Chains A and B, each alone.
Chain A
Amino acid sequence: MGDLIQTIIAKYNYWIYITLMMIGLYAMIAKNNLVKKIVGMGIFQTAIILFYVSIGAKRGATIPILEHGHGEQGHEISSHMVHAVDYINPLPHVLMLTAIVVAVATLGVALALAIRVYNRYNTLEEDEILEQIREK
């Protein structure tokens, strides 16, 4: 029993991201409205971002900006004064920093496509669009 609780405490963050991700996946597959599909894609991306950032976490560490790294003192800092255990892993943060902005850009393109679809078919419901395509 104690073992199970230990596992839950150590791993529950991943389960939250997987749940979020599956909500996004379900929305992308099952929702009929194109904008709702785009919202599902946003939820999916958010889950991935949270997952990456949580991988970078370290117990007892701080944000990856070196202390006393400014001004004159900065030049005196050498490698033996900085320990990797004191700072969280910067790499996932770098990857997700670019991913967030690219997510905004893809959202823009997705909405532009949705606008084009709406101009052509006067609806954003997938079944109605498919019906109109079949009629032609």
Chain B
Amino acid sequence: MKVIGFIIAVLTGGLLIYATVDFPEWADPASPASMHVSPHYIEKTMEETSVPNIVTAVLADYRGYDTMFETAVIFSAGVVCFLLLRIFLRNAPEERLYRHVLTGVTIRIKRGGRLPYSEDFKRIDTLWTPHDLIIKTISRLLIPFIQLFGLYVIAHGHHSPGGGFQGGVILGASIILLAISYDLRTALRRIREKVDAILCAAGVFIYAGTGALCLLLGFNFLDYSALASVLHVDPVTARSHGILIVEIGVGITVMATMIWIYKNLASTGKYDEGL
């Protein structure tokens, strides 16, 4: 298998390298990819959508249909991870570990055993985890700023590099950081599974709903200039606002999906303890 694989890889590579003879030169301004629709996007974006970041305008407006289904793909990836891995535990796990916060003493509770009544005991993962004060404190300080930055990236996608995908990933990463630095149960208390599932679907719904609203107002699907009458602005500004609305939808879906996939993978579907 190794030899066959090597021969296939070398042959394909050779064919592809032979094909590069016809390719445009590196950074050639007159390459075919830059001659067709791209000049229209660059020169007309400001007139048509009043969005300085051309990438955002093309992503959410000119190619909005494509991006809507990309969002649907991400949503379905989250659902697939859930369906593949999730196990609903009927009975309690074999044994649980608790740590006394003040003294650092760890006790093991077998199934059926009961914890001495006290507020000072905290459940910890079965794979022994040390009490790492520095990591927890730093993460707790950093997470609000990471989330603020994520919101900034979504909201300023019109004027600077950013948008729903990037901001959503940053927001999701902040919750994953919480799950890594504390434990999975802390992250689950912040964002429960049900919230994940609802947010995941809500983002796609916001995107598709905006498109359907345009349709109801008598315009094409995802033609945001239809929103001018709803938002009381001129059609060009309405397209800019429409882009923001769908970017928020994308951000919600991406954030929820990242967290959901992480939870399923880290705990192999048990949502009990993980990583």
Question: Are the chains A and B members of one assembly?
Answer: yes
A residues at B contact (CB < 8 Å): 9-15, 18-19, 21-23, 25-26, 29-30, 54-61, 63-66, 69-70, 74-75, 77-79, 82-85, 87, 89-94, 97-98, 100-102, 104-106, 108-109, 111-113, 115-116, 119
- For A78, what are the chain B residues with a Cβ–Cβ distance below 8 Å? 46-47
Q: List, sorted by A's number, 23 A–B pairs whose CB atoms are closer than 8 Å.
A: A11-B21, A11-B26, A15-B20, A18-B17, A22-B13, A55-B24, A56-B33, A58-B28, A58-B34, A65-B55, A69-B46, A69-B159, A78-B47, A82-B43, A83-B42, A84-B43, A85-B29, A91-B58, A98-B70, A104-B169, A105-B261, A112-B264, A115-B265
* B101 interface residue (CB < 8 Å to A): no
Do most interface residues of chain B lie in helix, strand or loop, or is the interface mixed?
Answer: helix
Please determine whether A30 and B58 come into contact, CB atoms closer than 8 angstroms. no
* B95 interface residue (CB < 8 Å to A): no
Q: Kindly list 15 other residue pairs between chains A and B, CB separation below 8 angstroms, not including A13-B26, A56-B33, A69-B46.
A: A26-B5, A29-B9, A54-B26, A59-B27, A60-B29, A66-B45, A69-B159, A84-B34, A89-B33, A91-B37, A91-B58, A93-B55, A94-B63, A105-B74, A108-B265
CB-nearest residue of chain B to A113: B84
Interface string of B148-179 (1 = CB under 8 A from A): 00000000000111010110010000000000
CB-nearest residue of chain B to A9: B26
Please determine whether A79 and B44 come into contact, CB atoms closer than 8 angstroms. yes
Please determine whether B41 and A105 come into contact, CB atoms closer than 8 angstroms. no
Q: Which of B38-82 contact A (CB under 8 A)?
A: 38-39, 41-47, 50, 52-55, 58-59, 63, 66-67, 70, 73-74, 77-78, 80-81
Do most interface residues of chain A lie in helix, strand or loop, or is the interface mixed?
Answer: helix
Give which listed residue, A13, A59, A66, contacts B46 with CB less than 8 A.
A66
